[in-house]
Amino acid sequence: MQKTIGTEYKDKEERIVFLTDNCDEIVEKNYMKSFSEEEIDYFKDELAEVSIKIKEVEKEKKETIDIFKTQLKPLYIKHLKLIANIKDGADYVYEEVYKFVARNEKQTGYYNDCGNLIEQREATEAELQPTIFMNPILTGTNN
């Protein structure tokens, strides 16, 4: 079969009349219709414009995300700290504490500034040795 037929009719209406008069049957069918060079050039121009707009929106999106990340970072840190506080029921701190040696019980205790016992252990031999700075009431050496 021929690649083209009725192309000698430049007017579309005349070409349709020729094709209708000479065909065996008119049917509807799906097929891929090629684009003209002008249509392809138009699509290329549109693609360039859309690509530029995409880049602009992506840049704006990144800047916005960076702003949100900056706002969220301290909140996430606080969130994790609060979860740890709730889970542990306490906070790990580094502060001055007060050591007391109960020589009669052979125990050493550490108290925070609220007066709460935070740690207790057996006293070492060195801690149990009397010193000249010991309170006579506590050592039992009243004169």
CB 101 within 8 A of CB 108: yes
Longest dimension (CA), the chain: 139
Q: Is the pLDDT of residue 140 over 60?
A: no
My answer on whether 71 and 86 are in the same domain is: yes
Q: Which of 22-26, 28-32, 75-79, 85-89 has the highest mean pLDDT?
A: 75-79
Residue 63 resides in a domain: yes
Residue 112 resides in a domain: yes
Side-chain-facing half-sphere of 138: CA atoms under 13 Å: 12
Q: Is the pLDDT of residue 99 over 80?
A: yes
Residue 39 resides in a domain: yes
**What is the number of structural domains in the chain?**
2
Expressed as residue numbers, the domain containing 62 is: 33-91
Angle (nearest 5°) at CA 101 between 100 and 105: 130
Confidence of residue 142 (pLDDT cuts 50, 70, 90): low
Confidence of residue 136 (pLDDT cuts 50, 70, 90): low
Q: Which residues pair with 121 in a beta bridge?
A: 108
What is the pTM for the complete model shown?
0.46
